[in-house]
Amino acid sequence: MPPTTGTLGPGTAVTIGAYDGVHLGHRALLRDLCERALAAGLSSVVVTFDRHPAYVVRPESAPRQLTSLEQKLELLAECGVDRTLVVPFDDERANETAEDFVKEVLVDELSARLVVVGEDFHFGHGRKGNVALLRELGGRWGFEVVGVGLTDDGTEPVSSTRIRALLAAGDVEGAARLLGRPHEVRGPVVRGDGRGGPELGFPTANLEIPQDIALPADGVYAGHFRRADGSLHRAAVNVGRRPTFYEPDTAPVLVEAYLLHFDGDLYGEPSRVSFAHRLRDEQRFDSVEDLIAQMHQDVAEAERMLAGADLP
């Protein structure tokens, strides 16, 4: 049986999807699901996957993820759903017909009585399943299907794809508006090249971020650093390849956070960094002295932009 969170009652109201980012569009659909479930006396269930299906069916073009599975489950729980069912997605699942998926997961596993999905929802081998097919199968197996229109922010639908594009452009404020929160990445603090403190005077916490997680465009940001103990610190964050010291074409992308007014050892801690404002592009400096002077300006600007702001 796939891993789950929460507890089921008799009969369920279900939604299905990758739910990457659990953004405002997702949250609107989940509110609808929970309201319908409550009115019908059903348990609300989200069916999602242990990885984005694209990593199996088209790995060469799979999108970077806005959330890890752990973070996604936390965000879904915050939305008030009774249970999340995490379905392993592998080659066998990718080749499963839409009808078999519905019978196995929705009917046999969840005893679905109501299914709520976006009107553009597709599923099953070759994405041949859609809302029309769900309604046909619902008539056969005894569940109602509701297709919900996409949430619009006044210009265009809110989507994970759109949020990824904003991050790729460095627009972390635009991404936060659609997510309903600042974009956050997670990882342990690892040792870097040791240059930040002794040479530059700005010791940084270097986070090891999984390669499938979406990062903002290379640049310097004002943001927040959350430690394993829950404490939150304002920070200046560099995302990039450190072109003053390395060739950008060959250097890996690093996430380095300088915690304002902090002195301590963070190595090995599972940590989180969220991005509030973009300060500037990453750039190459002619000398270390020029870089240090700019870093002083960056830290002052980060402190100014974060002062008085509500903490995430």
pLDDT of residue 309: 67
- The predicted-structure confidence for 200-248, as pLDDT tens digits, reads as follows 778 889 999 999 999 999 999 999 999 999 999 999 999 998 756 666 7
Beta strand segments in the chain, E: 4-6, 12-16, 43-49, 83-87, 112-118, 144-148, 184-190, 205-207, 219-226, 232-240, 254-259, 270-281
pLDDT of residue 1: 43
CA angle, corner 286, sides to 281 and 287, nearest 5? 110
pLDDT of residue 208: 94
Long-range contacts of 69-74 (CB under 8 A, 24+ apart): 70/186, 71/184, 71/186, 72/19, 72/20, 72/22, 72/48, 73/5
pLDDT of residue 194: 59
Say how far apart CA 18 and CA 105 lie, in whole Å. 15
| Structure tokens that stand for 296 in this block | 């002083």
| Structure tokens that stand for 158 in this block | 């809110």
Long-range contacts of 192-197 (CB under 8 A, 24+ apart): 192/254, 192/256, 193/245, 195/245, 196/256, 196/258
φ/ψ of residue 239, rounded to 5: -115, 120
pLDDT of residue 124: 86
Say how far apart CA 267 and CA 265 lie, in whole Å. 6
pLDDT of residue 245: 66
Helix (H, G, I), strand (E, B) or coil at 77: helix
pLDDT of residue 58: 92
| Structure tokens that stand for 240 in this block | 């990039």
Q: pTM of the entire structure?
A: 0.90
Give me the residues of the chain with pLDDT under 70, please.
1-9, 193-199, 243-247, 309-312
Is-contact 19 46, C-beta < 8 A? yes
Instruction: Return the residue matching tokens 């789950």.
Output: 4
Residues marked active site are found at 256
The residues, any chain, with a CB within 8 Å of residue 25's CB and separated by 6 or more, are 118, 150, 151, 157, 158, 159, 178
Question: DSSP character for 59?
Answer: G
Domains observed in the chain:
8-148 (3.40.50.620), 185-306 (2.40.30.30)
How far are the Cα atoms of 31, 72, 83 from residue 79, in angstroms, in the given order? 7, 11, 11
132, 75, 62, 72: which is closest to 102 by C-alpha?
A: 132
How far are the Cα atoms of 71, 110, 112, 115, 138 from residue 142, in angstroms, in the given order? 33, 12, 8, 11, 5
149, 186, 160: which is closest to 269 by C-alpha?
A: 186
Say how far apart CA 5 and CA 50 lie, in whole Å. 13
φ/ψ of residue 272, rounded to 5: -135, 140
